Structure 1
Amino acid sequence: MPAYLDTLTARFPGAFATSTFRDNPRVVLSAEKAYATVFPLLKCLKTECGFDMLAELAGIDYLNYPGATDRYGVVYGLVNTTTAERVFVKAHANDPDPELPSVYDLWKAADWMEREVYDMFGVSFAGHPDPRRILMPHEFTAFPLRKDYPLRGYGERHNFRPVTRAEG
Structure 2
Amino acid sequence: MPAAQRSSVDSPAERPSGTTDDAAAQGGESTALAGRALHESSGPPVAPVGLPRAGMFGAKGSGDTSGYGLLVREPYLPPVAERPFGGPTTSHLAQDERQYGAFDEVTDALYAAMAERSIPEAAIRQITVAAREITYYVAREHLTALLWALRDDAALRFELASSISGVDYGVDVPQRLHVVYELTSMTYRRRIRLEVAVDVDDPYVPSAVAVYPTADWHERECWDMFGVVFSGHPALTRILMPDDWPGHPQRKDYPLGGIPVEYKGAEIPPPDQRRSYS
Matched, 1:62 2:157: no
**Is 1:13 aligned to 2:115, yes or no?**
no
Structure 2 partner of 1:160? none
Match for residue 120 of structure 1 among 213, 225, 235: 225
How high is the sequence identity, in percent, across the aligned residues?
A: 33
Paired position in structure 1 for 2:132: 23
Question: 1:91 is matched with which residue?
Answer: 196
The superposition leaves residues 137-156 of structure 1 with CA deviations (integer Å, 9 ceiling, x where unpaired) of 11112000000001015x59
Paired residue secondary structure (1:74): strand
Separation in 2 of the partners of 1:146 and 1:96? 13
CA RMSD, 1 decimal: 1.9
- Corresponding residue SS for 2:108: helix
Equivalence for 1:4: 106
Alignment partner, residue 246 of structure 2: 141
Structure 1 counterpart SS, 2:121: coil
Higher relative contact order (CA 8 A, sep 6+): 1
Say which of 72, 80, 84 aligns to 2:185.
80
Q: Tell me the amino acid that sits aligned with residue 51 of structure 1.
A: F
Contact kept? 1:4, 1:45, Cα under 8 Å: no
Secondary structure of the 2:175 match is coil
SS of structure 2 residue aligned to 1:14: helix
More strand per residue: 1
Quote the Cα distance in structure 2 between the aligned partners of 1:149 and 1:55.
Answer: 27
Aligned length: 150
State the alpha-carbon separation in 2 of the partners of residues 100 and 22 from structure 1: 26
Q: TM-score, normalised by structure 1?
A: 0.82
Q: Unaligned 5+ residue runs, structure 2?
A: 1-102, 115-119, 262-278
Q: Is the contact made by 2:171 and 2:253 (CA closer than 8 Å) also made in structure 1?
A: no
Bigger-Rg structure (1/2): 2
> Taking structure 1 as reference, are residues 114 and 156 closer, same or farther at Cα in structure 2, changes over 3 Å only?
farther
Rounded Cα–Cα distance in structure 1 between residues aligned with 2:106 and 2:147: 11
Q: Does 1:100 align with 2:205?
A: yes
